[in-house]
């Protein structure tokens, strides 16, 4: 079965809004074995929306649109669908009653423009929206089934689960399974994967880079894909840290739990972002003691026992391997943790020097068996530098726990 997703709204085409609906719908279709062959973004233009419906109906068995079902003049989805199939718009009084009841329950009356949400093509039906005002529009013929869903995700997602998911025949899941890596460049990862990424394979491995992470993907589930993913992970070791939607901190969590060990963090340029990423992992209270954000030199000294001489003119400075080590050691001593992780750097856009340009970040790791400081030069703006510092801090910890000295991309000599 094939599907086409239509995302409707001017806001999607002028950059005001990110189309998360399409991404979510593609994932849900893939889980049911439905191949999404196109995703189209269409402005609030009745003629162009109608053309999209007409064109899509000849290329797939399911069309799902999102957006354009409200009470304002730019909500044109129902009218455009009527144009596409040669119908008139009719007022569905039962649906108008649903709309009125919803508004009254919120303490509002209904005005004429809101009643227009009860209009539908003559060959379509309206389905009650349990989470909003605008009804869902559904039309089916011998060629194609169409559902028009509201744009807000809090309405769109439950409507899909209620009305569309039960109508999809069970099929072999096409959901993506991933192996994620940090600290390896795309060309090196591709070389390690070798023939696995050839496009003429029956089950090829797709690759992409997202926010500094290399991601290898298999678009299918089952024993064969599981074996392939295991091969991918083995080839990409030790840079591979986990699967779908995981960061290095998830593998760190597994390793700490297995060893019955604890972790604490000391952050400067990341401003608490490492700690936030850690507590995103369920159950982190079992292994994460806590952390400090020691942004100023004074607090690095007071809270982490970094010698003030480090910050003097003849000293190495706050962004240095010495300070990163001191911070990691200091947070271990303060919290009694088995492991300490620290970050100090120049996130930009200013503050850089010729010797320590913007993007320079030192990461420190301390334990009974590790005393590590690694320097990196991260590209990008302030947010990109900080985001990579968070991921690399957890990857540096993984490598220390694995007792590997494998190189990490963007690492520079000390």
pLDDT, residue 414, reads: 55
pLDDT tens-digit profile of 248-292? 999 999 999 999 999 999 999 999 999 999 999 999 999 999 999
pLDDT, residue 311, reads: 97
Distance CA 263, CA 29 (A): 40
pLDDT tens-digit profile of 309-361? 999 999 999 999 999 999 999 999 999 999 999 999 999 999 999 999 999 99
Residue 128: count other Cβ atoms within 10 Å of its Cβ: 15
The CATH number of domain 248-412 is 2.40.30.10: no
Q: What number of residues does the chain have? A: 414
Provide the residue ranges of all domains of the chain, joining segments of one domain with +.
2-167, 177-242, 248-412
pLDDT, residue 361, reads: 98
pLDDT, residue 261, reads: 98
Q: What is the mean pLDDT of residues 193-209?
A: 93
pLDDT tens-digit profile of 71-125? 999 999 999 999 999 999 999 999 999 999 999 999 999 999 999 999 999 999 9
How many CA atoms lie within 13 Å of 192's alpha carbon, on the beta-carbon side?
20
- Whether the pLDDT of residue 402 is over 90: the answer is yes
Higher pLDDT residue, 221 or 286? 286
What percent of the chain stands above pLDDT 70? 100
- Whether the pLDDT of residue 362 is over 80: the answer is yes
Mean pLDDT of the chain: 95
pLDDT, residue 212, reads: 86
Q: Which two structure tokens, joined as six digits, stand for 6?
A: 């239509």
Q: Which of 389, 95, 377 minimizes the C-alpha distance to 266?
A: 389
Q: Which two structure tokens, joined as six digits, stand for 144?
A: 């194609």
What superfamily in CATH does domain 2-167 come from? MoaB/Mog-like domain (3.40.980.10)
CATH number for the segment(s) 177-242: 3.30.70.2860
Are 387 and 212 spatial neighbours (Cβ–Cβ below 8 Å)?
A: yes
């Amino acid at each position: 079965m094939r599907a086409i997703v239509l995302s409707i709204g001017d806001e999607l085409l002028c950059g005001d809004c990110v189309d998360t609906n399409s991404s979510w719908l593609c994932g849900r279709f893939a889980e049911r074995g439905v191949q999404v062959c196109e995703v189209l973004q269409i402005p609030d233009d009745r003629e162009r929306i109608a053309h999209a419906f007409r064109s899509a109906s000849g290329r797939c068995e399911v069309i799902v649109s999102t957006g354009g079902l409200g009470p304002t003049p730019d909500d044109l989805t129902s009218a455009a669908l009527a144009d596409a199939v040669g119908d008139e718009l009719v007022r569905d009084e039962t649906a108008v009653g649903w709309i009125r009841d919803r508004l009254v329950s919120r303490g509002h009356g209904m005005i004429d423009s809101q009643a227009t949400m009860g209009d539908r093509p003559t060959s379509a039906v309206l389905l009650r929206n349990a989470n909003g005002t605008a009804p869902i529009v559904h039309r089916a013929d011998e060629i194609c089934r169409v559902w028009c869903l509201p744009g807000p995700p809090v309405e769109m997602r439950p409507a899909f689960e209620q009305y569309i998911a039960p109508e999809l025949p069970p099929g072999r899941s096409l959901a993506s399974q991933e192996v994620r890596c940090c600290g390896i460049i795309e060309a090196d990862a591709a070389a390690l994967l070798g023939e696995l990424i050839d496009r003429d394979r029956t089950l090829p491995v797709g690759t992409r880079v997202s926010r500094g992470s290399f991601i290898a993907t298999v678009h299918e589930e089952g024993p064969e894909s599981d074996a392939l993913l295991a091969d991918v992970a083995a080839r990409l070791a030790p840079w591979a840290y986990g699967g779908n939607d995981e960061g290095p901190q998830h593998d760190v969590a597994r390793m700490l739990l297995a060893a019955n060990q604890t972790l604490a963090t000391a952050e400067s340029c990341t401003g608490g972002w490492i700690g936030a990423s850690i507590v995103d992992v369920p159950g982190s209270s079992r292994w994460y003691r806590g952390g400090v954000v020691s942004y100023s030199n004074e607090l690095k000294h007071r809270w982490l026992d970094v010698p003030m001489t480090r910050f003097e003119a003849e000293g190495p400075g706050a962004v240095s391997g010495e300070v990163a080590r001191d911070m990691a050691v200091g947070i271990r001593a303060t919290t009694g943790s088995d492991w300490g992780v620290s970050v100090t750097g120049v996130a930009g856009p200013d503050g850089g020097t010729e010797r320590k340009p913007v993007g320079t970040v030192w990461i420190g790791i301390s334990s009974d068996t590790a005393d590590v400081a690694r320097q990196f030069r991260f590209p990008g703006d302030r947010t990109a530098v900080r985001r990579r510092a968070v991921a690399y801090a957890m990857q540096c910890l993984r490598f220390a726990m694995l007792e590997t000295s494998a190189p990490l991309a963007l690492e520079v000599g000390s």
